[in-house]
RNA sequence: GACCCGUUGGUCAAGUGGUCAAGACGUCGCCCUCUCACGGCGGAGUCAGGGGUUCGACUCCCCUACGGGUUACCA
């Protein structure tokens, strides 16, 4: 068989020598140990937490080593293109603090290894394919879908491994004449790898290959024996081929991807070997899992919209919180480091791929929320205010007016209980924050809780009346509370909770019940931060007004 | 089915032959306390099972079970 002739027959328009690409895309000039990583999303527009998880690994690996992190769009599947997806991906990642040095950006492509859209790299792929055909390493296959199905069915009956390999590879050794004829008939064809792998026949045992995975250590797997499709009938490569060519030519040093790629690793290894290129360091990350009906399963795009990044954005999780959380599940020693370095920037943590877990991790909302509290408590009120405003503009526009309205007022509210040494950690995510502080705004103030059971309506009324009588906005906190105690004992409630605990039969309740009545009148809820402080923020007028409104006496 | 990966408390997990098997979240109790938070203290709770190897196994080997993934001209 004259493979040169075959190659020209198949790709008459490809004239470049592969070596030219080696010159166009030379070895990167980077410091020793610098890592080159990439994110290669397919533009379906949907990214979930798992993608972000992987993106952080890429980002840290590159930026921690003085390397390069670039974005490549893997748009080799025409059926899955979604309008505006690339922009959505970029802005989503940007929101969560993932930035690229190179590749596809909002303003087009940037970098010396362009193009970064796989759809624009056909000539490159075909040049290498042509070379492989010339060398007899790849061949055209004209099998139709029906023929492929037939093969699979036969294999199933015979209980042999499914796939296109060995004796099942019908078109592996087609003659030049036959190929010519089929070409003349305009039959569609794909290009397949002529795999050199061994099969599990009587006299041949499958050879094993071993690969060093950055996360998982030594991996032993059977070598590939499948004549996988390299180039689809439309001239676009499959993921397998595009990955190998791109990551070689773009000089990627570390390929970070999900564990679902593990089974196709032997294909990639054979491809790199066939092309005589060095293998990148593979890092197969654990999957982020979800619990469903008592079982865990991989996060899925279709089934888990609540795990999409958009969900966290619309709830108003702070990007720093999400990042911090992901980091704790990314690197097992991160949490420990954070406790020792509570205020250090996240980037100063030394991330290592070896400290990554290789088993699937369940997403834990409780943990995210807890971490979020710690993160938010360190963010200055002015910054939180801006964050709330930005969030409302995108997700709750009806709140924007209020939030932007009185800047000083909002900042005081957000700083409530965050000045002393015992910091309140009340804030988790934007939507929750607004609910938490909503009683400060008349439009959102409403009575949500009812008075304690041991306080009669008459008592409640008289407590509020007495409170109003004694109200002096100039009182300091001690003076204020002394008056509450006074009211409590006047009405038959213990001034100190301990007294009540000792002799519950002597009292109707204790000072806590009294302040709960006041709290409900002022905030509409039985729980809130310190009443006195809240009054100082609300101001004298609003505070009194609410007490008056709560007095049934005045409502009658 | 075949192949691959995985399995330490409810969750995330330290741990690489000798530990009373860290820590965090959650949970429960107590303390602090005008409520709620915060904080402090304490409790319950784990090496999937069975065989080896070894003086000694969470750690090494084998088998079983369970979970997950892949098995496309999708990525």
Given a contact cutoff of 8 angstroms between Cβ atoms, the answer to whether A514 and A484 are in contact is: yes
A527 contact to strand B (CB, 7 A limit): yes
Region A363-374: what's the mean pLDDT? 93
Residue A326 to residue A6: CA distance in whole angstroms: 51
Q: Alpha carbon of A336 to those of A119, A320, A331: distances in Å?
A: 44, 18, 10
The candidate with the shortest Cα–Cα distance to A387, out of A409, A414, A368, is: A414
A516 contact to strand B (CB, 7 A limit): yes
What is the percentage of chain A residues whose pLDDT exceeds 90?
72
Residue A307 has what pLDDT? Answer: 74
CA of residue A297 to C1' of nucleotide B7, angstroms: 15
Residue A389 to residue A397: CA distance in whole angstroms: 9
Cα-Cα-Cα-Cα dihedral sign, residues A77, A79, A82, A83: positive
> Domain segments of chain A: what residues?
300-352+365-377, 381-435, 457-555
Q: What is the mean pLDDT of chain A?
A: 91
Structure confidence by residue, pLDDT tens digits, A77-88 = 777 778 888 998
CATH 1.10.10.350 fits A457-555, yes or no: yes
Model confidence at A141, pLDDT cuts 50, 70, 90, reads very high
ipTM computed for the complex: 0.92
A424 contact to strand B (CB, 7 A limit): yes
Region A250-258: what's the mean pLDDT? 95
Give the three-state DSSP class for A68. strand
Output the furthest CA–CA distance in chain A (Å, rounded).
Answer: 109
Model confidence at A556, pLDDT cuts 50, 70, 90, reads very low
CA of residue A478 to C1' of nucleotide B5, angstroms: 64
Query: SS3 breakdown of chain A: % helix, strand, coil, rounded to 5?
Result: 50, 10, 35
Q: Which of A206-210, A305-309, A422-426, A518-522 has the lowest mean pLDDT?
A: A305-309
Model's pTM, two decimal places?
Answer: 0.91
Model confidence at A534, pLDDT cuts 50, 70, 90, reads very high
Structure confidence by residue, pLDDT tens digits, A154-199 = 998 888 889 999 999 999 999 999 999 999 999 999 999 999 998 8
Residue A482 has what pLDDT? Answer: 95
**What's the 3-state SS for A113-151?**
CCCCEHHHCHHHHHHHHHHHHHCCCEEEECCCHHHHHHH
Q: Which stretch, A83-97, A217-231, A234-248, A451-465, has highest mean pLDDT?
A: A234-248
Given a contact cutoff of 8 angstroms between Cβ atoms, the answer to whether A185 and A246 are in contact is: no
Structure confidence by residue, pLDDT tens digits, A243-253 = 999 999 999 99
The candidate with the shortest Cα–Cα distance to A344, out of A370, A387, A369, A378, is: A378
Residue A83 has what pLDDT? Answer: 82
Please check the confidence at residue A302 and state whether its pLDDT lies above 70. no
CA of residue A422 to C1' of nucleotide B40, angstroms: 12
Q: Which of A27-36, A37-46, A367-376, A529-538 has the lowest mean pLDDT?
A: A37-46
Residue A24 to residue A127: CA distance in whole angstroms: 14
A16 contact to strand B (CB, 7 A limit): no
Per DSSP bridges, beta strands A229-231 and A288-292 are: unpaired
């Amino acid at each position: 068989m004259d493979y040169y002739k075959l190659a020209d027959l198949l790709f008459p328009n490809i004239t470049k020598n592969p070596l030219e690409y080696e010159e166009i895309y030379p070895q990167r000039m980077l410091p020793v140990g610098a890592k080159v990583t990439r994110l290669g999303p397919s533009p379906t527009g949907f990214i979930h937490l798992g993608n972000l998880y992987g993106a952080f690994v890429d980002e840290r690996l590159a930026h921690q080593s003085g390397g390069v992190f670039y974005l490549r769009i893997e748009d080799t599947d025409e059926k899955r293109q979604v309008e505006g997806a690339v922009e959505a991906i970029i802005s989503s990642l940007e929101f969560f603090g993932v930035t690229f040095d190179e590749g596809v950006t909002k303003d087009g492509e940037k970098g010396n290894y362009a193009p970064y859209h796989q759809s624009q790299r056909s000539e490159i792929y075909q040049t290498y394919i042509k070379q492989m055909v010339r060398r007899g390493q790849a061949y055209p296959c004209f099998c139709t879908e029906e023929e492929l199905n037939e093969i699979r069915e036969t294999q199933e009956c015979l209980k042999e491994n499914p796939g296109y390999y060995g004796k099942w590879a019908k078109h592996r050794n087609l003659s030049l004449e036959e190929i010519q004829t089929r070409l003349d008939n305009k039959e569609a064809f794909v290009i397949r790898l002529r795999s050199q792998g061994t099969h599990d026949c009587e006299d041949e045992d499958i050879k094993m290959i071993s690969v060093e995975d950055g996360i998982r250590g030594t991996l032993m797997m059977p070598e590939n024996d499948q004549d996988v499709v390299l180039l689809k009938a439309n001239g676009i490569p499959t993921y397998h081929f595009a990955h190998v060519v791109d990551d070689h030519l773009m000089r990627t040093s570390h390929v970070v991807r999900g564990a679902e790629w593990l089974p196709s690793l032997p294909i990639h290894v054979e491809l790199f070997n066939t092309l005589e290129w060095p293998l990148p360091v593979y890092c197969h990350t654990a999957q982020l899992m979800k619990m469903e009906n008592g079982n865990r399963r991989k996060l899925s795009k279709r089934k888990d919209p609540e795990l999409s990044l958009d969900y966290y954005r619309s709830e108003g999780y702070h990007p720093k919180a999400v990042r911090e959380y992901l980091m704790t599940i990314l690197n097992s020693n991160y949490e420990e480091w954070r406790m020792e370095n509570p205020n250090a920037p996240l980037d100063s943590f030394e991330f290592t791929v070896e400290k990554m877990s290789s088993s699937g991790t369940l997403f834990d909302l409780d943990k995210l929320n807890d971490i979020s509290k710690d993160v938010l408590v360190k963010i200055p009120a002015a910054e939180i205010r801006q964050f709330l405003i930005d969030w409302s503009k995108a997700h709750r526009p009806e709140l924007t007016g209020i939030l932007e309205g009185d800047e000083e007022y909002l900042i005081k509210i957000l700083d409530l209980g965050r000045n002393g040494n015992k910091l309140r950690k009340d804030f988790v995510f934007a939507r929750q924050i607004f609910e938490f502080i909503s009683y400060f705004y008349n439009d959102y103030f409403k009575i949500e809780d009812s008075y304690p059971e041991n306080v009669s309506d008459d008592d409640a009324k008289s407590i509020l009346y007495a409170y109003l009588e004694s109200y002096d906005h100039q009182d300091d906190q001690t003076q204020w509370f002394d008056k509450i105690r006074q009211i409590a004992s006047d009405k038959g409630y213990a001034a100190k909770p301990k007294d009540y605990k000792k002799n519950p039969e002597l009292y109707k309740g204790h000072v806590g019940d009294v302040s709960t009545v006041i709290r409900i009148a002022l905030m509409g809820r039985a729980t809130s931060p310190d009443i006195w402080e809240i009054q100082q923020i609300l101001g004298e007028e609003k505070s009194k007004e609410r007490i008056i409104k709560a007095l049934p006496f005045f409502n009658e």
